[in-house]
C-alpha cells in the first residue's frame, strides 16, 4: 500500500511537471469557467499562446525526426538545462517580478497612465532595459559566464529560448523591473511589456526547419524577427555582438548594433570556444571554468579582478581578441576585397569601351 501511494504521488509530480512544461496551468484554470470573455484580455491571450509555443517545440522535434535531421545535441542539453533549472528553483530563491515590483514601487518619480501611448512608452522603456542588460552580458566577462549558457547551442529551436543559466533570470528581472519603474512605468504597464516580451522572445528562437526564412516580410524592418535573433546567436565575425533587443529594433538602431542576415553569410550558431555537447557541465557552465583558468594564471590581484569585468577575449598579456575587433577586422578585409573587385570591374569596362571605340 505504501509503495502504491508513493507511485501515485510520483505520477502526480510527473503529470504536474508535464503541465508546467507546456505552461498549461493558466489556460486550464480559465477553461474551467463557462465565461469566455477572458479570450479578449491580454492575460487570456497569453494563457492561450504560451502552450502553443511549447507545442511548437514538440513539432520541431517531430519535424527533425521525420526529416532525419534530429541530433541529440540540438535538443537534449537544452532540455536538461530546463530540467536542472526547474529542480534548482525549488531550492534557490529567485526574486519574482511581483517581489521586485513591490520593492521598487516607492522609487517611481512619476506615473505614466495606462493609455495606448503609455503602452508604447512601456514597450520602449522595457526594451531599453533589455538592451542595456543584454549588452552588458556580452561585454562584462562575469555576466557573460551567466549568459553564455543561452549561446552554447549550435542550433536554433524553441528549446534554446529556455536554455539559460539558473541565476540569469533573477538579476535580469531585477533590472528589467527597476529601470522601467525609475522611468515612470506602473506595474500594469510593466506586466503588458513582460507578456509581449516573454511570448515574442520565445517565438524568435523558432528553428530554420519550421520557419526557413524567418524574416516575416516587412516586419523584419521593425521587429526582432527569428532571422534577426538568429544573427544574435551566430558566431560568424560579421554577426558577433549584434541585435541585443528582444522585441523591436529601436535601441539596436540607436546604439549601432543592428545587423541584418546577409544572404551570402550562412549562420554558424554557438560560441567561439569549442563546446563538448555530450558533457552537460561544459554546455551549462563551461565559461565559468574558462574564467577560473584565466584568473588563476593572471599575475597580481589587479589583473585577476580585471578578468571579471573586462569583455570576453580580454587578456592581461596584451594579446586580447575582442568580438568588436574581430568584426571590425572582418569588415575592413571585406571592404578592401570589394574595393579591389569594383576596381577590376571598372578597368574591365573601360578596356571594353576603349576597344569598342577603336
Ligand atoms: Zn546574447
Ligand atoms: Zn536567444
pLDDT at 152: 95
The Å distance, Cα 198 to ligand 2 centre, comes to 12
pLDDT at 31: 82
Q: What angle do CA 219, 224, 225 make, to 5 degrees?
A: 60
The Å distance, Cα 206 to ligand 2 centre, comes to 10
Task: Provide the grid cell at 309.
Answer: 569585468
The Å distance, Cα 151 to ligand 1 centre, comes to 7
The Å distance, Cα 262 to ligand 2 centre, comes to 19
Where the chain has pLDDT below 70, the residues are 1-2, 87-96, 342, 344-358
The Å distance, Cα 282 to ligand 1 centre, comes to 18
Distance of CA 283 to the CA centre of its chain: 16
Ligand nearest to the CA of 146: 1
pLDDT at 48: 85
Task: Provide the grid cell at 213.
Answer: 526564412
Q: Kindly list the domain boundaries of the chain, sorted by start residue.
A: 1-70, 74-321, 330-358
Ligand nearest to the CA of 244: 1
Ligand nearest to the CA of 257: 1
The Å distance, Cα 357 to ligand 1 centre, comes to 57
Nearest to 196 by CA among 236, 219, 223, 215: 223
The Å distance, Cα 40 to ligand 1 centre, comes to 34
Ligand nearest to the CA of 224: 2
- Mutual angle of helices 2-21 and 72-89, in 10-degree steps: 110
The Å distance, Cα 102 to ligand 1 centre, comes to 28
Ligand nearest to the CA of 148: 1
The Å distance, Cα 154 to ligand 2 centre, comes to 12
The Å distance, Cα 75 to ligand 2 centre, comes to 14
Strand (E) or helix (H) holding 181: helix 168-182
The Å distance, Cα 77 to ligand 2 centre, comes to 15
Helix (H, G, I), strand (E, B) or coil at 269: strand
Is this structure's pTM higher than 0.85?
no
Phi/psi at 94 (5° precision)? -115, 125
User: What would the pLDDT profile of 71-104 be if each residue is shown by its tens digit?
Assistant: 888 888 888 788 777 766 655 545 567 777 778 8
Ligand nearest to the CA of 323: 1
Ligand nearest to the CA of 269: 2
Neighbours of 142 (CB within 10 A): 14
pLDDT at 353: 65
The Å distance, Cα 353 to ligand 1 centre, comes to 51
CA torsion, ordered 164, 227, 220, 58, to nearest 10 deg? -70
Hunting for cell 521586485 — which residue is that?
A: 100
Phi/psi at 356 (5° precision)? -65, -40
pLDDT at 35: 78
Amino acid at each position: 500500500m505504501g509503495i502504491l501511494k508513493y507511485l501515485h504521488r510520483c505520477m502526480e509530480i510527473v503529470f504536474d511537471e508535464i503541465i508546467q512544461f507546456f505552461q498549461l496551468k493558466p489556460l486550464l484554470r480559465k477553461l474551467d469557467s463557462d465565461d469566455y470573455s477572458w479570450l479578449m484580455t491580454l492575460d487570456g491571450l497569453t494563457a492561450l499562446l504560451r502552450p502553443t509555443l511549447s507545442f511548437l517545440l514538440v513539432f520541431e522535434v517531430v519535424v527533425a525526426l521525420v526529416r532525419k535531421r534530429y541530433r541529440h545535441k540540438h535538443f537534449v542539453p537544452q532540455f536538461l538545462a530546463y530540467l536542472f533549472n526547474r529542480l534548482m528553483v525549488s531550492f534557490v530563491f529567485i526574486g519574482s517580478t511581483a517581489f521586485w515590483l513591490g520593492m521598487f514601487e516607492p522609487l517611481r518619480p512619476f506615473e505614466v497612465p495606462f493609455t495606448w501611448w503609455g503602452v508604447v512608452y512601456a514597450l520602449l522603456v522595457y526594451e531599453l532595459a533589455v538592451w542595456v542588460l543584454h549588452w552588458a552580458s556580452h561585454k562584462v566577462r562575469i555576466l557573460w559566464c551567466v549568459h553564455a549558457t543561452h549561446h552554447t547551442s549550435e542550433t536554433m529551436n524553441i528549446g534554446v529560448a529556455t536554455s539559460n543559466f539558473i541565476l540569469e533570470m533573477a538579476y535580469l528581472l531585477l533590472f528589467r523591473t527597476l529601470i522601467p519603474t525609475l522611468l515612470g512605468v506602473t506595474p500594469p504597464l510593466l506586466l503588458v511589456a513582460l507578456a509581449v516580451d516573454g511570448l515574442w522572445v520565445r517565438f524568435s528562437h523558432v528553428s530554420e526547419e519550421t520557419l526557413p526564412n524567418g524574416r516575416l516580410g516587412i516586419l523584419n524592418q521593425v521587429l526582432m524577427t527569428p532571422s534577426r535573433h538568429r544573427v544574435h546567436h551566430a558566431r560568424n565575425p560579421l554577426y558577433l555582438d549584434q541585435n541585443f533587443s528582444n522585441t523591436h529594433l529601436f535601441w539596436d538602431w540607436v546604439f549601432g548594433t543592428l545587423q541584418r542576415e546577409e544572404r551570402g553569410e550562412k549562420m554558424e550558431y554557438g560560441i567561439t570556444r569549442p563546446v563538448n555537447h555530450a558533457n552537460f557541465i561544459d554546455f551549462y557552465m563551461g565559461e565559468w571554468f574558462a574564467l577560473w583558468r584565466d584568473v588563476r594564471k593572471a599575475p597580481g590581484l589587479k589583473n585577476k579582478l580585471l578578468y571579471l569585468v573586462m569583455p570576453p577575449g580580454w587578456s592581461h598579456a596584451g594579446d586580447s581578441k575582442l568580438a568588436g575587433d574581430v568584426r571590425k577586422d572582418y569588415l575592413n578585409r571585406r571592404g578592401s576585397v570589394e574595393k579591389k573587385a569594383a576596381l577590376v570591374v571598372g578597368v574591365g569596362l573601360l578596356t571594353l569601351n576603349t576597344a569598342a571605340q577603336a
